[in-house]
Amino acid sequence: MQYILALDQGTTSSRAIILTKEGHIVGIAQKELQQIFPNPGWVEHNACEIWSSQASVMTGALAMAHLKMRDIAAIGITNQRETTIVWDRKTSHPIHNAIVWQDRRTRTFCQSLKQEGYEPLFQKKTGLLLDPYFSGTKLRWILDNVPNAREKAERGELAFGTVDSWLLWQLTDGRYHITDATNASRTLLYNIHTHEWDNELLEILKIPRSLLPEVRDSSEVYAECSSTVCSSSTPIAGIAGDQQAALFGHSCFKKGMGKATYGTGCFILMNTGPKPAPVKNHLLTTIAYKIGNKTHYALEGSVFIGGAVVQWLRDNLGIIKHSRDIETLAKQSMNSNGVTFVPAFTGLGAPYWDPNTRGTIFGLTRGTQNSHIAYAALESIAFQVADVLDLMHELTPITQLRVDGGAVENNLLMQIQADYSNIPLVRPKWKEMTALGACFLAGLAVGFWKDLDEIQKLWKKEHEFFPSINDVKRKEAKNKWDKAVHWAKMWGNS
């Protein structure tokens, strides 16, 4: 058994990769996931499609590598995090579509909790803010709005899980209801200091404890894959939310090391060591990973719309045919010609946490071309990430940022990011950092790799981007961005 299999279930697609001990990917498969938008600000997935697509790519990766499940030493799982699924324990059938992390339907409820003075309590215990982003209020919505859901939950007939729990349930034919500490720490229900579901928070949100999965370490053998699913009893041995998995994949094992993942959203995490960082400046404190009952924490800033703005230009505005075309289009002008794009399609994440803000484009003239809008879209991604990095830098100096995700292949975006952040960006040779993190966690649990030092030696740099503009230009650009965000927030909250 010379290989590790990672299941990487993301917001827009499901992927699987197969990795060797030397860090070579020998099999990979990917399948897009349908996005469902029932109402403005609502985002859902079909939970059954999540599982079927993940099972399909698992088979596809094995076929590409000419392997069978008996060749796999262990399976790791990484997943879109706060996305919420509730299913019937007997039938394993979801009682509602999965409510995706981007969904904003509970913003009024979150606001009412804030008005009642609960946010400091949630922040102290969970490291999170009261925002629709997180799972707890999504779960409350399902219990309150799906017929008979609350009654069934109180009878112990239903199970709640983030996507990792749902996949593990399916892989084991419903024998195990488990999550790991990283995913639990994103629910608004888990106390990151006591490492248990918090009864006081459950009472406030009216969540029956019987719904919740068992919380385990990020690297340990949880169960064996059912032979009816995997054709062999392969151990499932690693679980982490996608952003924590990417941090682990980047070998950010020491305090002060950080990464930015450019996916549907952009997620910036910095390892803060064995103690949680003080919560301030609207950044989040979360669990980075938990191994051998030892916990490392991270400081996090979450940008809701990153690569999704490129998808919007492709699917809604129609100015590019493929997402990769945005770099070529933006290079036609190499500037925004005064256009500023605030892509707040689902509100603003860190550091603003304003669910009411909506997407806006400022500075349009008769001379505005598609290339200017494309360039402004790339700038919008870089500005949002820079906002988070500036706040993190106040707590711990950042000398280098490791980057991953589909958008890091866009050299123009990476250069713009280095310019506006004033920090060197390092792109690794590996492209699948999230899945690699899941591989490493699973491999550690079964002795495939002996320790973190062995994993760290596998990480290799491909390219480094250095800042190329002066402080005056940087300040001018960011001042214009700050004004645009201010006006977008005024529009959304008017």
Are the C-beta atoms of 234 and 225 separated by less than 8 Å?
yes
**Domain assignments of the chain as residue spans, ordered by start:** 3-243, 251-428+460-493
Known binding-site residue numbers for glycerol:
81-82, 133, 242-243
- Backbone φ, ψ for residue 54 (5° rounding): -70, -40
In the chain, what is the straight-line distance between the N-terminal and C-terminal CA atoms, in Å? 60
Are the C-beta atoms of 359 and 344 separated by less than 8 Å?
yes
Please state, as a whole number, how many other Cβ atoms lie within 10 Å of the Cβ of residue 467.
Answer: 17
As its CATH architecture, domain 3-243 has: 2-Layer Sandwich (3.30)
Q: What is the DSSP letter of 70?
A: G
288 vs 395, residue with greater confidence: 288
Confidence grade of residue 161 (pLDDT, cut at 50, 70, 90): very high
pLDDT at residue 23 greater than cutoff 80: yes
Q: Read off the pTM.
A: 0.86
Please state, as a whole number, how many other Cβ atoms lie within 10 Å of the Cβ of residue 208.
Answer: 16
Residues 121-132: what's their mean pLDDT? 92
- Which of 163-167, 259-263, 318-322, 451-455 is modeled with the greatest confidence? 163-167
Given phi > 0 = left and psi -120 to 50 = alpha, else beta, which region is 15? beta
Taking the C-alpha atoms of residue 445 and residue 443, their distance in angstroms, rounded to an integer, is 5
Taking the C-alpha atoms of residue 136 and residue 123, their distance in angstroms, rounded to an integer, is 13
SS3 251: coil
Known binding-site residue numbers:
11-13, 15, 81-82, 133, 242-243, 264, 307, 311, 406, 410
Confidence grade of residue 281 (pLDDT, cut at 50, 70, 90): low
CA atoms within 13 A on the CB side of 342: 26
- Backbone φ, ψ for residue 331 (5° rounding): -70, -15
List the single range of 17-21, 85-89, 307-311 with lowest mean pLDDT: 307-311
Token pair for residue 37? 């938008």
Q: Which CATH superfamily is domain 251-428+460-493 in?
A: ATPase, nucleotide binding domain (3.30.420.40)
Taking the C-alpha atoms of residue 146 and residue 167, their distance in angstroms, rounded to an integer, is 22
* pLDDT for res 425: 92
Are the C-beta atoms of 403 and 260 separated by less than 8 Å?
yes
Residue with tokens 């590019």: 320
pLDDT at residue 163 greater than cutoff 90: yes
The tens digit of pLDDT for each residue in 210-229 reads 999 999 999 999 999 988 88
* pLDDT for res 269: 92
Token pair for residue 462? 């491909």
pLDDT at residue 1 greater than cutoff 70: no
* pLDDT for res 474: 92
The tens digit of pLDDT for each residue in 56-99 reads 999 999 999 999 999 999 999 999 999 999 999 999 999 999 99
Known binding-site residue numbers for ADP:
11, 15, 264, 307, 406, 410
pLDDT at residue 405 greater than cutoff 90: no
Mean pLDDT, the chain, rounded, equals: 92
Confidence grade of residue 154 (pLDDT, cut at 50, 70, 90): very high
* pLDDT for res 280: 67
Taking the C-alpha atoms of residue 423 and residue 246, their distance in angstroms, rounded to an integer, is 19
* pLDDT for res 296: 94
Known binding-site residue numbers for ATP:
11-13, 264, 307, 311, 406
pLDDT at residue 342 greater than cutoff 90: yes
* pLDDT for res 254: 86
